[in-house]
Amino acid sequence: MTSDELIADAAAQSLTPQSWDVTVSESKFYWYDLLTDFPPVPDFRDPMGRYLRRMQFAVEATMEKRLMFMLVSRPKLRFDTSKSTSWGFFGLKLSIPLLVGADQKRDSVSIELKVPEDATLKKPTVQVFERFLTLNWGSLIETYSVHDLLQNFDTKHDFPSKIQYIGQTRDPAGRLLKGRHSGVNRACDNSGPDNDNFLLIQRIDFKHEGVLTGAAEDTEAAHDLLLKDQMDLLECVLIKYFEKEDEKMRSVREVTAREARVASLQQAHMVQRLQVDLGMEAPDAFQDLYSERVKVAPRHRFECNFDAEGPWFRAQGKA
């Protein structure tokens, strides 16, 4: 959100003090570097090209929606193409050599494969590239990025994800997908070449106590206006909670506009409390989030209260 967009008026008024509860109903990671480093239209004839195009389609679908995104960084991870994969004596246990971190330390990961229903081979042919691995089962080819293995298999490589930047996916111009979002670009530069960058895109649910007017009318337009206000307020709160104040990342003008936007929304909707729970029912190590400001935790739960000084936070229960 730009500082000009932050100045917009609130879409509705509230009749009584509000208490909003925020939860995450869907959460998905996309390897952002792949979106910006590879050709705009990957070759569908190639398994990796099909993988990249599917990811592009998935991220494109979010650009018309009001979802929350976090740019997060994780230790650089690559397959070690100078070494060979190996099979275990029994079953389909595959060991794959890795290069981990800034110093590209040699490591390995072992995964237990399952034969797909449509497979015509009992054991796949394995091809390893720097960022991808393909499994050819005869009738189909499975493609995994190196980071997919950590999410899809129990590899014991539990690296946390560092939050670098927070925003909303609503972007009809597609700046985020095209690598033209200036704030995200600055955050990628800040994370450095020794990390890989991801978009964590989350679908947010709001529940509220109190009586609304205006946007409370049961119309699609009114619902959209209310959702815009809710997402704007949540975005501002998450930035305040997670991001370190840094003029190189957020300009003084943007910070000032955001503070004014929070005050406007809080007063219009009479929001006294915003309770946020970013946890998922089945989290993985990718969901272990932290930032320059907040310690690592598998589940971030906090309560945001508002007064004349603006939002302030209180942790809720155990992470």
Mean of the per-residue pLDDT values of the chain: 88
Stated pTM of the model = 0.89
Question: How sure is the predictor about 64, in pLDDT bands with cuts at 50, 70 and 90?
Answer: confident
Compare 17 and 140 and report the one with higher pLDDT. 140
Mean pLDDT, residues 227-234? 95
Least confident of 81-85, 187-191, 247-251: 247-251
Q: What ranges in the chain are assigned the alpha helix state H?
A: 3-6, 32-37, 47-60, 146-152, 182-191, 220-242, 252-269
Are 233 and 266 in contact by the 8 Å Cβ rule? The answer is: yes
Compare 311 and 267 and report the one with higher pLDDT. 267
Mean pLDDT, residues 64-93? 95
Cα–Cα distance measured from residue 311 to residue 273, given in angstroms and rounded to the nearest whole number: 9
Residue 317 has pLDDT above 90, yes or no: no
The token pair that represents 156 in the structure block: 């014991």
Q: Give the whole-number percent of the chain exceeding pLDDT 70.
A: 88
pLDDT of 252: 92
For tokens 């009479």, the residue is 270
- List own/partner pairs for 54-62 with CB under 8 A and 24 or more apart: 55/30, 55/31, 56/177, 58/28, 58/30, 59/30, 59/35, 59/176, 59/177, 59/199, 59/201, 60/174, 60/177, 62/169, 62/201
Nearest alpha-carbon partner for 165 in 296, 26, 291: 291
